[in-house]
Each structure stands twice: as C-alpha cells, then as structure tokens.
Structure 1
C-alpha cells in the first residue's frame, strides 16, 4: 500500500471531519495498537506561535548532550516524513509504509467497532509517531501540539516531564475561543497533575489562566520572565544572538534561527533544559552548540543569497508581525522589497496586510493563489491590496511569480520575500531554490 496515498486521502483540517474535538478516537486507536505512547517520556509543547522553533531548540540541545531524541512536529513543510524523526533523521518511507499498514488496521477497527467515525489525518499521524518512537525508544520525545491542546490528539499522553507553552494569540477563534484567555485555557489543557509548566506567554490575561490551571493541578508554574531579568537579542541579517540576564550576569548565546522573536523561544528552551537537569543532566557546551546549530526550515530562512530570498511560514497576524519586524529592521540593506504573498481563506488577511505595509522601502507585493483547497482567491487578495493602496502584481501561480521576479532581477539588491502560509513557503521556496541554482549554473558557463 502506498502510505502517502492513504495519508493524503484522510480527512484533514479545513475539511468536513478533518477536525473532531475529543480524544475518544485517538484513545481507541492507540488501544488497538497496544498503547505505544505509554513506553515513552515526553516534553509537550503548545502555543500559538513559536512551538515548532522551541521544540527544535530543545531537541537539538538534548541531542548534542548525547541523548537519543524523538521529535514530532506539524505541519510538515516539504514532505510528510519531516513530522517524525529520531536523532535528527526522519522516518524512512519503507518504515512509514510498514507502520501505516499497522495503523490502518487499527483505524478500520475503530470504524467497525465504535460509533466514533474514522480517525482524522492528524490522529493517524500522531499514532504513527507513537509507534515509530516505541520502536526506536528515544530517551526523550519532544511532542508538538497540532491545534489548541486540551483536545489535541497529542494530549492523549497521561504524563510528561514538562508542559511548555510558548505564546498565546488570536487564531482559530471559531474553535479555541475569541479571547486570549479562552485560547490560553485550551493550551493549558496539556498541563499534567504534579507536573512542570514552562511559559513564555506575554499576555497577562492568558498567562494568569495558565498559572491558575497549573495551581489547580498542583503543577509548578515557571515563567521565563521571572527567571531572566532581561531577554533580548543582537542580530544582523545572517546572524542572531540570544542575550539574557540572570543573577546580575549577562549571558550571550549564538542561536541558529533568525528573528528577534526567536530570542524568547531560545530562552524558553534554555529554561526547560535547565529546569530538567536533575532528570536529564547536561553540560553547558551542549546547550551552546544546540542553540547555535538548530535548523528549522521555512522560518526566516534564507534560501538564496544572490538574489537574497527570505521565506517565512507566518500564517496569522502575530506571526506576520514577527516576520515584518525582521524585514523592517533590515529593509534598508536593500534597494526595495518584493513580497510574494498568498494566504488561506480562513485567515485575517487585513491584519496581515496591515503588518506588511509597514515596509516603507519600495515595497511591491506579488499575489497568487496557493495550491491548498483553502487558498484565498486572487480576486479577494487584489481587493484587499487596493483597499490598503499597496502596489501589487497578480499571477496565476506562486511559481510563476517567483520565476518572473528572477527573470527581471538586476544587480540592484532588492530583497525577495515569501510568506502568508506554509503552502506559500513551500511552492515559492522550491521555485526560488531551483531558480537560484539555475542562475548560478548559467553564471559559470
């Protein structure tokens, strides 16, 4: 059986049946699979933005410390296998095929022997991850929440070494609630009895909800702003450093991910590994190397240097603000900014464009629909750009937008960026990489 065909035909988020709140299906699915999750140790990471970066920082630090690590993330950027890895190596297609056959049998039983309905794409993916990790038995699994927390499939785990909450902002309000406090309640659903809770949440109303939930469960609540007197960064376009102040001492760490906001993600990861030292001992060199060598594709990633192409998976207003903070800070290194933009139809495009228009250095927006069934139609994108009086060009596809920009690019150093959704980053990023290689090859002839 082709595992990718099977997975692609499952109900995904955004389709009817693609998001089904509740843990009954994943619980029954894992029951038929022999409860693989019960043999594993977890660090559970939730949050509106930053959870993937934070999970990657934590995983890389422990890997550098000599631990065997598992990492489960979502969504994938280029290939499904990216979601599930041990020691930085993604699941092979051969092993995925074996595990999909096993999970499909269990899924069929769920449908036949209960009235819960067919498990969703994310529930199946989560079960695959637990089976894979049970086979390979990492010392620690860094488990990223998919959506929310309380009813997320990953929250089927009964215990964790730590619950980590990165940030709270307005997203998926129709599912999680229309205030930050309500969304925080959903994220705080991952907190376990007598556990450890690490938070980098800035919004006080959201943070108070998380702290209250921790107290109700007799869990220790650790706010990174109580640990560090200062959390900041020093950066150039290509390098980034975390600056923290603790016990009247300043500490400086090189971090592998760009952006001012990555300082808080790195500081949170640092707080987690420091807080778990009694359980998972490590030395400072592992921390330093782990932070410096973390790689997270599609997040402020420079995929080509000539011309400079910067891609970022910002897909909500808060994420776009962080991305534009970086672009705005460095925009005058260049003669202008070409911004390739496409979003999903359920996103607040106005708030995202409101951030993009902060770029004042000869901004030109390049619009297209992406390949998702949920893409925002080009007519609406054009309408909103007109409303904000933004200079734009519309294209039939993201690939054609990238190809056109490369074809007319001259030696004026304009910055090319692509953002708005992970679908945007994938299509524009792949085309940019291919165009960049072709440009290099032609220059050598």
Structure 2
C-alpha cells in the first residue's frame, strides 16, 4: 500500500471568496507543512511504502528502522511551488513508473486531485467524494450535528457581519468572552477570542469591509468555556457503514492551538463510558455514513471544569495528529508515558542530522536510553523546512534563520522526566547554533 499526504487539508476545503479572520502571514509555514508527510511513517507497516515530498534523511530512516518502524520510502520528485502533492503528481505529464506498481493509495485526507490519481494509476482504493468530505469537515456541519444528536450546541452559525454583531453582543452580556471560529480553521489559526465589546466591534467592521469587497461570511460564535481538558476520539467507518473505535487521546493545547497528544488516562476513559460518550460516537458515525462519508475520523471533545461533557466540538473526517500519536504509542509502548508534541525552531545553517542523533544517543536523550525512555525525533524534513545541505545557505540568507519545526515523541516515566528530556534536547539543539522558539 502507498501512503501519502497533504496536510492543512482545510485550506483546500474552504470556499473561495469566504471572509477570513485577521491573521499574521507566516511565509515559512508552507514548506514546513509540505514536509509533515514524514509523520505518516507511524501508520506504515513492513509491506507499505511512504511517499514523501522531500527526500528522507538516510540516518533518520536507519534510526526509525532500528526502533521497529520497517517501511519503504519514495521521494515524490515534484516541484515545490505546488503545496498539494496530489496535484503536483497529477500534473506531471509522464506516468511515474514507480507509482504503477502499487494497488492502493491511502491519503492523509481527501483533497482535490486525489481521485484523479486513483483513476490515473488504476488504484483499487475507494474514497468518499470530495463534495461529501468538504461538507462533513465544516464546523457548521459539526454544530448542526451536535444539535441534532444532543438537542443543543454551544456553537451558533452566523452568515453576515450583522448577525455576528448581534450574536456576539448577546453572548458578551452573559459570558466571559466570545469565540469566533472559521468553519475550516485549523491548529489555532482559525479561531479568535474576544473579551471586550470594543474588540468584537473591530472584527465586525473588519468583516463588513470584506463583505463590501464581495466576500461571503460564515462563522461560528461560541461562549468562552472554562475547559478542564480537551480530548479526541479516533475511529474509522468502513464502506459498509460499520465503525471501529481506534483510540482516545488527551489533547495538549496552548492558546487554542494544538501542541500535542498523549494516551488518555484509564480513569478518564471509564468516566466517558459512564457518561454515555461512546453512544454519541456511534450515532455520529452513523450520521457521517448516511451523509456520504467513510474512512478515518477524529472527533474533538472536551470536559468543562464543572464536569460537563461536550462530546462534539468539531469533526475531522480524515487521518489526524491524534491517530499519529496513537500509533506511535502502540508501537513504542513499554509501560512508559508517550507524548507526541513539537517545538518551533530556527537554524542559521544545516547540520549533520545523523551525527546529531549519535550525540543525543551518547548523552542518553535519544530513545531508547538505559532506562527505556528518551525522545524519538520524527521529521528532519520539517526541522530543515525541506531544504538540503546545498540549498540551506542561500535560503537562510546572510545571518538569517530558517524556521522549522521539530516533531517529537517523548517516552518518559512522568511529566518531570519528559520536561527534563526536552530541556536537554533544547540544549543540544542550541549547541548546533539553532534557536528554540517554544
């Protein structure tokens, strides 16, 4: 089976001409996102092949094989100006002989041009339509489904700046703040918290200007909830409509942005069972199937500080970071706590990744150390933003830093040991001349 993925799927699902929340452009982010397909190694078995945008570091492949991840890897060999790897592959005029030897393609998510590749290479994989995938991934759909299944939803859809103003003012009078969510926002980039009426009015004016320029408005408005913890449920729906629970992950968020996952504590799982959570998931899976979707699903949920269970916050009808974290935990489980996370970093120069791994191993930081703990670095391509040794100096410019992302799976006996390991990893990275942003 061939695994491949284009991340930030929501970018390809949102309608053109939709109003957008204010944001700060991040020019480095696109290359990092293109490199994230290396994370899918956690889903591959010995008979599988992972197709990645950028060439995978040989030392990284050797290390992953050594700790139990046996797989084959192919580099896509396409231009990097097109972020959707499926489109880049589809638009290559010559048939790629390497891709013809596979019978199935498993994408991270269904985005444009995936179906075109299935037809071009006569893969036997069955996928839902792009139209159905777009519909069920919208947070508007999640809010509607929560209302249908549970009788109520914290989310209120608004379809104009005026509706937003009315709904927002009403919530501001009764709660500690107002959350505005983009229907296809992701990773903290698609929601904003407003604590004052003045700040809310400013964003209403911002949307009015977009409407005057022809944009259509569609957002969700929610009260700012006092959350005890967030979690996600991974499950899959087969072509016949049967569903299977895959795992549960507690989510680590910072300022509404996802920064990691770890397996949920048993006592919390038992609490979900007592509160009928999995009955809701069963109904949700049935509804998704009736609405044309089958495949992997990750449902985000939460527990409020007063003990209230919120089963449906949003639906991600695709593979997910939670699934990656779950598979890593399954395959590296040795009775320790495993946490999937990342850190934003910067480098002025490319360094020998294999030599760095050897240094980490010698200092007891790399998994597995003498205690059976340690850190598993997961994506050198994200660390170097896809640049090779020859490209790095020109890309960085004189004295500049190339922004990257260091994905990790940290195996430790407790939270203190996890922090200690990450702290030591930071020291090693900074010795290489790198910068640690958080």
TM-score (norm: length of structure 2): 0.29
Greater share of helix residues, 1 or 2? 1
Q: Which has the higher strand share?
A: 2
TM-score by length of 1: 0.29
